Amino acid sequence: METILLIYLFIIGLLLGSFFNVVGLRIPNNESIVKPRSHCTSCNRTLTAIDLVPVFSYIFLKGKCRTCGTKISAIYPLIELLTGLLFAFSFYKVGFNQELIVALAFVSLLMIITVSDIHYMLIPDKVLLFFLVILGIARVCSPVTPWWDSIIGAIVGFGLLALIAIVSKGGMGGGDIKLFFLIGLVLGTKETLLAFFLSTLIGAVIGGFGMLIGKIKRNKPIPFGPFIVIGSLMTYYYGDTIIEWYLTLF
Ligand SMILES: [Zn+2]
């Protein structure tokens, strides 16, 4: 039973991941997410079933459009695979209960944001608003202890990033600030602070390494969203363990 659910969630994740690519790419342009059907951005050919099997199409077509041969971004299959893996892992980690809805919604939000932030360096309000409702309801059904820590977490997350934006004079985007409101809602106060700490740490390490190998230019802005995503997911799954470990150091 467990294994079947695990595989089932993996496949659902693959398929939804494919949809999240569309959402993340289209919402910032105010395009419809259902019409037109997915097409090659280079030759405009409408994609058919063969082109749309998550991950496998990309491998089978060797990362190129079937008609015009234009390279397809590896971000697409990566988001599909990641969503599949994270859906399955969420079930493994939290089990089959109300918290799983929070986990799956949280993963979905973070995957869509990754797509938008990588492509456009922006986190769309529409997506945040949609998930504010979903995660709000999910958190009411599966509250943190104490329940009001979700609200404090949201305020602290939002406030902390707003403060940094003010102090750094725009070093933090408006989307990042609003995103941390949602992260606070999901994680509660303590873990929100941990998520922020991990995000900046990962950002600094990867950013520093990128500069070292010349892939990132010092004055060129890089999207902070993906680091927030990694930091928040690490905290969602392992926050307790990390905080416990940290406290044993004293
Ligand atoms: Zn094409």
Give residue 69's region: left, alpha or beta (phi > 0; psi -120 to 50): left
How far is the C-alpha of 83 from the C-alpha of 85, rounded, in Å? 6
Cis peptide bond N-terminal to 36, omega within 30:
yes
Whole-number Å distance, alpha carbon 50 to ligand 1 midpoint, is: 14
Whole-number Å distance, alpha carbon 215 to ligand 1 midpoint, is: 28
Whole-number Å distance, alpha carbon 11 to ligand 1 midpoint, is: 26
How far is the C-alpha of 178 from the C-alpha of 109, rounded, in Å? 13
Whole-number Å distance, alpha carbon 46 to ligand 1 midpoint, is: 9
- Tallying the residues shown for the chain, one arrives at 250
Contacts of 189 (CB under 8 A, 6+ apart): 149, 152, 153, 156
- Write down the pLDDT at residue 173: 82
Cβ < 5 A residues, ion ligand 1: 40, 42-43, 65, 67-68, 70
- Write down the pLDDT at residue 114: 96
- Write down the pLDDT at residue 172: 78
DSSP 21: H
The mean per-residue pLDDT over the stretch 177-188 comes to 97
Do 27 and 127 meet the contact criterion of CB atoms below 8 Å apart?
yes
pLDDT higher than 70, residue 105? yes
Do 191 and 163 meet the contact criterion of CB atoms below 8 Å apart?
no
- Write down the pLDDT at residue 218: 67
The mean per-residue pLDDT over the stretch 243-250 comes to 91
pLDDT higher than 90, residue 169? no
Residue 38: CB atoms within 10 A of its CB come to: 16
Whole-number Å distance, alpha carbon 157 to ligand 1 midpoint, is: 42
How far is the C-alpha of 107 from the C-alpha of 128, rounded, in Å? 13
How far is the C-alpha of 47 from the C-alpha of 62, rounded, in Å? 15
Whole-number Å distance, alpha carbon 22 to ligand 1 midpoint, is: 16
The mean per-residue pLDDT over the stretch 177-200 comes to 97
How far is the C-alpha of 188 from the C-alpha of 147, rounded, in Å? 9
Which contacts qualify for 56-60: CB closer than 8 Å, 24 or more apart?
Answer: none
pLDDT, tens digit, for every residue of 120-156? 999 999 999 999 999 999 999 999 999 999 999 999 9
The mean per-residue pLDDT over the stretch 220-230 comes to 86
DSSP 153: H
pLDDT higher than 90, residue 178? yes
Whole-number Å distance, alpha carbon 120 to ligand 1 midpoint, is: 21
Whole-number Å distance, alpha carbon 47 to ligand 1 midpoint, is: 9
Domain ranges of the chain: 143-250
pLDDT higher than 80, residue 7? yes
Whole-number Å distance, alpha carbon 92 to ligand 1 midpoint, is: 39
Whole-number Å distance, alpha carbon 23 to ligand 1 midpoint, is: 20
Average pLDDT in the chain: 93
Whole-number Å distance, alpha carbon 64 to ligand 1 midpoint, is: 8
Whole-number Å distance, alpha carbon 78 to ligand 1 midpoint, is: 20
Of 86-90, 96-100, 213-217, which range is least confident?
A: 213-217
The mean per-residue pLDDT over the stretch 221-238 comes to 92
Q: What are phi and psi of 13, to 5 degrees?
A: -65, -45
Helices (H), 33-168: 56-60, 75-94, 98-120, 125-141, 149-167
- For the chain, give the percent of residues with pLDDT over 90: 78
Q: What are phi and psi of 219, to 5 degrees?
A: -95, 0
pLDDT, tens digit, for every residue of 44-74? 999 998 888 999 999 999 999 999 999 999 9
Do 67 and 44 meet the contact criterion of CB atoms below 8 Å apart?
no
- Write down the pLDDT at residue 187: 98
- Write down the pLDDT at residue 28: 94
